[in-house]
Amino acid sequence: MSLSSDSEPVFAAFVALDWGDKKHFWALQCAESKQRERGEIEHTPEAIDVWAGELSARFGGRPIAVALEQSRGALVFMLSKYAHLHLYPIHPTSAGKLRAALFPSGVKDDPLDADVLLEMLVQHRSHLRRLDPDSEPTRLIQNLVEARRRVVDDRTREGNRLIALLKLYFPQMLQWFDDVRSPLVGAWLKKWPTLEQVQSARPATVRKFLTQHNCRSEELIEKRLESIRTAMPALRDQAVIRSSVVLVQVQVDLLATVREAIRRLDREIEQACAGHPDFALFDSFPGAGPALAPRLLAAFGSRRDRYASAQELQSYCGIAPLLVRSGKSEWIHYRWVCPKFLRQTFHEWAGHSIAYSVWARAYYDQQRAGGSGHHEAVRALAFKWIRIAFRCWQDGQPYDEARYIESLRKRGSPLAAALKAA
């Protein structure tokens, strides 16, 4: 899905849906009337199809604006297939604050929530962005990269659980291996889940195991063997140890499943990107690579009318700083409410680009020398990268580092002087 800033059509009616697991409450107001109608609809494809068909027949197939408190999910996808329905997602925080302003008593029920959403749609639609579907190949990549991020988060969560268990009864594993989520550690814990078991194994067996799992450093192998020989158990309570071993092996199996899921998603993403006409453009950016280039494609999408300017994208994704003024005070902070995955995409890409782009490294160093912290400097770099990427995206031209550096020199940019000095 993409959020559109296009001029809107003339709507025949406005509808708000308060989402529910089993049924949705709706409120409707015709464009030429102040009267409101209310009702409810079951959350089934058949019921929604009947409801959408009735709206189309009633208003002669003319456009209808629909407000709802989600931009993704089952209801959005069900409604997206109806051409006469134009969807306007409303952030739950915005709806909650308007509800609190209109009803300071704190009263809340589902029909009332539908009225609040309808009020925002009718009176404050200029602050909302219409949800318009991107091309199917682009939406496929968007869904895949977001799914991959969720699975990577699962890997982090399961890895942290494994670390917590090992700290309890087998902390030496955290000293012997840098990444306990690796296949090597998983195989080790399947074979020797406790310190006592690995200490009872012959050194030659341990050496062979490490060699078979691509650990070739003799120095590292000897260091591990010596540490195994001198290690002391963290505890001897068999009730704790035996239960922890069971849980550790469960975590090892879960991590193996998650690693395979990531590999499968990577293959699907690679295949989806190979046939996408815009992928070469995003793959040309320094530091993008096989992981971030698809995410950049998903962030921009295929519709060149999705954002009116680079500044609009900078603000929407949360990279642009926010100025707050109150009385004689003013301060700047980064945006708290924004699409977090989108902001993370640009932040990670900017961080990676430092090692691949000469000017990005020089700009990052300038920011750090000026007193900015690492993440602040990376956000500032991401701000610049978005403007560059937006221009490439609009022109349909891959990024050219030499051409951009030359443009810096022609403009007399201080950054060009810093590059020359370097």
Looking at the fold, whether 247 and 364 belong to one and the same domain comes out as no
What integer is the mean pLDDT of 323-351?
A: 78
Query: In the listed set 218, 248, 271, which residue is the last one of a domain according to the structure?
Result: 271
pLDDT, average across residues 395-422:
86
Whether residues 256 and 294 fall in one domain: no
The pLDDT tens digits for 248-298 are: 999 999 999 999 999 999 999 999 999 999 999 999 999 999 999 999 999
Q: Domain range holding 374? A: 279-421
Please check whether residues 157 and 24 belong to one and the same domain: no
Among the three residues 133, 152, 180, which one is the final residue of a domain in this structure? 133
Question: What's the structural domain count of the chain?
Answer: 3
Q: In what order do the strands lie in the sheet with 36-42?
A: 2-4, 130-132, 85-89, 64-68, 13-18, 23-30, 36-42
The answer on pLDDT for 146 being more than 90 is yes
Largest CA distance in the chain: 86
Same-domain pairing of 177 and 233: yes
What does the chain come to in residues? 422
Instruction: Residue 129: give its domain's CATH number.
Output: 3.30.420
The C-alpha atoms of residue 367 and residue 278 are separated, in whole angstroms, by 32
Give percent above pLDDT 70 in the chain.
Answer: 92
Is 0.85 topped by the overall pTM? no
The per-residue pLDDT for range 73-132, each reduced to its tens digit, is 788 888 888 989 999 998 887 878 887 787 776 655 556 888 889 999 999 888 888 888
For residues 295 and 180, state if they share a domain.
no
**Band of the pLDDT at 169, cuts 50, 70, 90?**
very high
Q: What is the pLDDT of residues 172-210, one digit of tens each?
A: 999 999 999 999 999 999 999 999 999 999 999 999 999
**Which of 169-174's residues contact partners 24+ apart within 8 Å by CB, and which partners?**
169/194, 169/234, 169/235, 169/240, 169/241, 169/244, 170/194, 170/195, 170/234, 170/244, 170/248, 171/234, 172/227, 172/228, 172/231
Cβ 48 vs Cβ 15: under 8 Å: no
The pLDDT confidence band at residue 350, using thresholds 50, 70 and 90, is: very high
Q: Residue 108: in which H helix or E strand, if any?
A: none
Taking the C-alpha atoms of residue 342 and residue 213, their distance in angstroms, rounded to an integer, is 37
Last residue of a domain, one of 225, 255, 271: 271
- Alpha helices in 39-83, H assignment, sequence order: 45-58, 74-80
Same domain, 332 and 246: no
